């Protein structure tokens, strides 16, 4: 079985995000493997090891620097990588089209994994578009996965502790959530071993991606200011509690 894991090269969540020309970020920061994709990779490797003869292929769309993320994926156990080189950003619609074309060009997917979202764009949709293009079922925020002979069982987590178990036909697309596993990080030996794993580089124009009918484009980025000006909440204990609940409701809008 060929197991494809779509991985994304994203800014380190600890990096300072600086906005240039109102629409882009200064990319002179550390980029690394999207954290949710670590769960996807760990699960893909687990499934591969249970199905002899399978291979895990990490697929990534990005600039040349994204090879680092493919190398990280291979150090975590992917057998080989595919880097689709691009110089520009792509929305989820295009990304799904590109990934689909690259996967099809490479082989026959038995399973496709992604992280449930990327921490940069937070679009939460590429996996569903990919599933639709392939006509594969999709489940996101998966916390448990069982691959049976003809089908897969996936537990998806919802808020309030609700879990739904989905049964899917195979092949299917799995959006890995944090609850799925503890990522298995590579040792230096894993890094050494994977240094020689092959990475196939594809050029975007060669893939002849059909034009999309819809498009999502960032027209403005605005820094989220963090200037805190402390305001006192006073009164009796029960006054304070009431005011906090009020703030959570009306201002923070979280309840």
Partner 1 sequence: MTKKYDAIIIGAGVIGSPIAYELSKMGYKTLTVDKLADAGEGSTAGSCAIVRAHYSTADGVAMAYEGFKYWLDWENYLDHVKDEKGLARYMNTGSLLLKSQGHDWKKVKRNYDEIGVKYEELTIEKIKEMVPVADLHEFWPVRRPEDPKFYDEPTKTLEGAIFCPEGGYVNDPTLSAHNIMRAAEAKGATFLFNAEVVDIRTKDGRTAGITLKDGTQFDAPIVVNVGGPHSFKINKMAPGVWEGCNIKTKSLRHEVMYCPSPEGYDYLNDGYHMSDGDVGCYVRPEVGNTFLIGSEDPACDPREWVDPDDFYAGKGGPGKDNVLTDAQWKAQCYRFGKRVPTLPVPNQPKGVVDLYDCSDDWIPVYDKSDLPGFYMAVGTSGNQYKNAPVVGRMMAELIDACEKGLDHDKEPFQYKFKYIDRSTDVGFFSRKRQINRNSSFSVNG
Partner 2 sequence: MIKHIGVIIEQDNGIMKAANLGMITMARQKHTILFALVMDGSAGALKEKLSSFGISTIIEIRLAEDFQDNPDVRAKAVAKAVEKFELSALFGLSTAMGKDLLPRIAAILDGSLVMDCFDVDLENNIAGTSRYSGKTLAKIKVRGPVPVFGIRPNAREPVQEQKSAGIIQFEAVSLDSKLLRVVKRGETGKDSKISLTEAEIIISGGRGMKNGENFNLLFECAQKLNAAVGSSRVAVDSGWVPYAMQVGQTGEKVSPKVYIACGISGSIQHFAGMKTSGMVIAINLDETAAIMSNCDYYAKADALKIIPEITKLLETS
| Distance from C-alpha of 8 to C-alpha of 66, rounded to nearest angstrom | 8
CB of 231 to partner 1, least distance (A): 19
> Would you say 7 or 147 has its CB closer to partner 1?
7
CB of 226 to partner 1, least distance (A): 11
The residue behind tokens 């929305």 is: 91
Region 134-193 residues binding partner 1, contact defined as CB under 8 A = 183-189, 191-192
Residue 20 binds partner 2 (CB under 8 A): no
- The answer to whether the CB of 40 falls within 8 A of the CB of 78 is no
CB of 74 to partner 1, least distance (A): 12
| Distance from C-alpha of 129 to C-alpha of 228, rounded to nearest angstrom | 40
- The answer to whether the CB of 210 falls within 8 A of the CB of 102 is no
Region 192-251 residues binding partner 1, contact defined as CB under 8 A = 192, 195
Residue 148 binds partner 2 (CB under 8 A): no
CB of 26 to partner 1, least distance (A): 8
Residue 113 binds partner 2 (CB under 8 A): no
| Distance from C-alpha of 70 to C-alpha of 64, rounded to nearest angstrom | 11
Q: Evaluate the omega torsion of the peptide bond into residue 65 and state whether it is cis, within 30 degrees of 0.
A: no
| Distance from C-alpha of 22 to C-alpha of 222, rounded to nearest angstrom | 7
CB of 226 to partner 2, least distance (A): 7
For residue 92, the partner it binds in partner 1, partner 2, none, with Cβ less than 5 to 8 A by kind, is partner 2
- The answer to whether the CB of 202 falls within 8 A of the CB of 83 is yes
Buried b (16+ CB within 10 A) or exposed e, 58-78: bbbbbeeebbbbbbbbbbbbb
Among 22, 30, 201, 246, indicate the residue that binds partner 1 (CB under 8 A): 30
- Binding residues vs partner 1 (CB under 8 A): 12-16, 28-33, 35, 38, 68, 72, 76, 183-189, 191-192, 195
């Amino acid at each position: 079985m060929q197991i494809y894991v779509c991985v994304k090269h994203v800014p380190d969540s600890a990096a300072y995000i600086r906005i240039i020309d109102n629409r882009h970020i200064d990319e002179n920061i550390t980029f690394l493997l999207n954290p949710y994709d670590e769960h996807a990779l760990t699960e893909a490797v687990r499934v591969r090891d249970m199905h002899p003869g399978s291979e895990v292929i990490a697929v990534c769309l990005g600039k040349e620097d994204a090879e680092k993320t493919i190398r990280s994926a291979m150090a975590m156990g992917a057998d080989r990588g595919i880097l689709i080189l691009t110089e520009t950003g792509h929305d989820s619609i295009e990304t799904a089209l590109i990934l689909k074309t690259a996967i099809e060009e490479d082989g026959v997917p038995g399973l496709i994994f992604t992280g449930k979202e990327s921490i940069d764009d937070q679009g939460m949709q590429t996996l569903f578009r990919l599933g639709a293009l392939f006509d594969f079922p999709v489940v996101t925020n998966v916390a448990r996965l069982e691959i049976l002979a003809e089908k897969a069982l996936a537990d998806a987590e919802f808020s309030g502790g609700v879990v739904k178990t989905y049964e899917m036909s195979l092949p299917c697309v799995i959006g890995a959530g944090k609850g799925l596993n503890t990522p298995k990080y590579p040792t230096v030996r894993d890094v050494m071993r994977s240094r020689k794993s092959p990475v196939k580089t594809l050029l975007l124009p060669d893939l002849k991606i059909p034009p999309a009918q819809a498009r999502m484009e960032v027209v403005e980025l605005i820094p989220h200011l963090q200037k805190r000006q402390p305001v006192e909440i006073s009164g009796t204990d029960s006054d304070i509690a009431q005011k906090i609940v009020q703030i959570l409701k009306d201002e923070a809008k979280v309840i």
